[in-house]
Amino acid sequence: MLVSAKEMLDKAKAGHYAVGQFNINNLEWTKAILLTAQELNSPVILGVSEGAGKYMTGFKTVAAMVKAMDEELGITVPVALHLDHGTYEGCYKCIKAGFTSIMFDGSHYPFEENLAKSTELVHVAHQLGLSIECEVGSIGGEEDGVVGMGECADPEECKTIADLGVDMLAAGIGNIHGKYPENWAGLSFETLDAIQQKTGAMPLVLHGGTGIPADMIKKAIELGVSKINVNTECQLSFADATRKYVEAGKDLEGKGFDPRKLLAPGTDAIKATVKEKMELFGSVGKA
């Protein structure tokens, strides 16, 4: 059964570990992440960007697939189905489709408009028993065509949004989506600490978890980060394993062209990446 992310993140915040949000792109991704979470007895959040939702033909298809797979695989650990970087319209589509958690990314609006839309969506989500994440200060890199420079959020603005009763807050602290460039300055722990001081028990979210050094991840968790998003790293491991399979000519041996065989090494690579991240985040055995 799918759940909202609130309870698992409150437990993570109190226990000083983080729950991984692993974005899904298709059936293989979903199956790999769910099986790994079950094997490690770890709570997990399945993230769906609007681009990935469109690719999978729509949010209703995604919700139906995830719910059925959760049941068919006999998954017993807490699983949240979460919209990642949702638009105002996208949030309502996911609510109707049966998601258990949404993220409204109003960081590109003037703050007052972000505040007004966040206020409305917090009310709607909580009326329906869904958890909601909001964002202050854009996350760098590119996410579904939106490019951010990796700003640091204003702690006072973070407090204003947190006070609306959001369940988790994504705040820019110099992190970016995708691969990190050579000249990346690193996370601003000073900003993170200032936000934590203002928002108290609010679970904080670190976007762009791919490529951040392990020691920085651990320090971020110590400073209040309870949810860490990973997407690019799983895509890179999937692509690398698939390339090796084809370059070794495995697809030309017997029925190696069968998609179930062709996609198996990449799927195993996703499992390995998810396992590594769950161990780093400290969520193993916390379900």
Report the CATH number that the domain containing residue 119 is assigned in CATH. 3.20.20.70
Largest CA distance in the chain: 62
Look at residue 194 and give its three-state secondary structure. Answer: helix
Range scoring the smallest mean pLDDT among 50-54, 56-60, 196-200, 248-252: 196-200
pLDDT tier at 207 (50, 70, 90 boundaries)?
Answer: confident
> Is 82 a domain residue?
yes
Task: Give the Cβ contact number of residue 108 at 10 Å.
Answer: 12
> Is 282 a domain residue?
no
Q: How do residues 227-286 score in pLDDT, each as one tens digit?
A: 999 999 999 999 999 999 999 999 999 999 999 999 999 999 999 999 999 999 999 999
Average pLDDT over residues 171-176: 79
Residue 95: pLDDT over 80: yes
> Is 283 a domain residue?
no
Specify the higher pLDDT residue, 137 or 159: 159
Cα–Cα distance list, 100 to 5, 38, 63, 131, 169 (Å): 8, 19, 9, 7, 17
> Is 56 a domain residue?
yes
CA 194 to chain centre: 23
Please give the residue range of the domain that contains residue 200.
5-232
Is 84 an annotated catalytic residue? yes
pLDDT tier at 187 (50, 70, 90 boundaries)?
Answer: confident
Q: How do residues 111-132 score in pLDDT, each as one tens digit?
A: 899 999 999 999 999 999 999 9
Cα–Cα distance list, 280 to 1, 20, 212 (Å): 26, 10, 12
> Is 263 a domain residue?
no
Residues with Cβ < 8 Å from 106, sequence gap 6 or more?
88, 113, 114, 115, 117, 118, 134, 135
Kindly report the average pLDDT of the chain as a whole number: 92
Range scoring the smallest mean pLDDT among 33-37, 80-84, 218-222: 218-222
The model carries a pTM of 0.94
Binding residues for dihydroxyacetone phosphate, by number, are 178, 208-210, 229-232
List the structure tokens of 240.
Answer: 């690398």
Q: What pLDDT does 139 receive?
A: 62
pLDDT tier at 150 (50, 70, 90 boundaries)?
Answer: low
Binding residues, by number, are 85, 105, 135, 177-178, 207-210, 229-232
Residue 152: pLDDT over 70: yes
> Is 193 a domain residue?
yes
> Is 238 a domain residue?
no
Average pLDDT over residues 13-23: 97
Selecting among 10, 70, 84, 154, the annotated active-site residue is: 84
In the chain, the number of structural domains is 1
Binding residues for Zn(2+), by number, are 85, 105, 135, 177, 207
Cα–Cα distance list, 206 to 54, 113, 163, 257, 260 (Å): 24, 23, 19, 38, 34
Q: What pLDDT does 108 receive?
A: 86
Q: What percent of the chain has pLDDT over 70?
A: 95
Residues constituting the chain: 287
Residue 138: pLDDT over 70: no
Residue 126 and residue 166: Cα distance in Å, rounded?
9
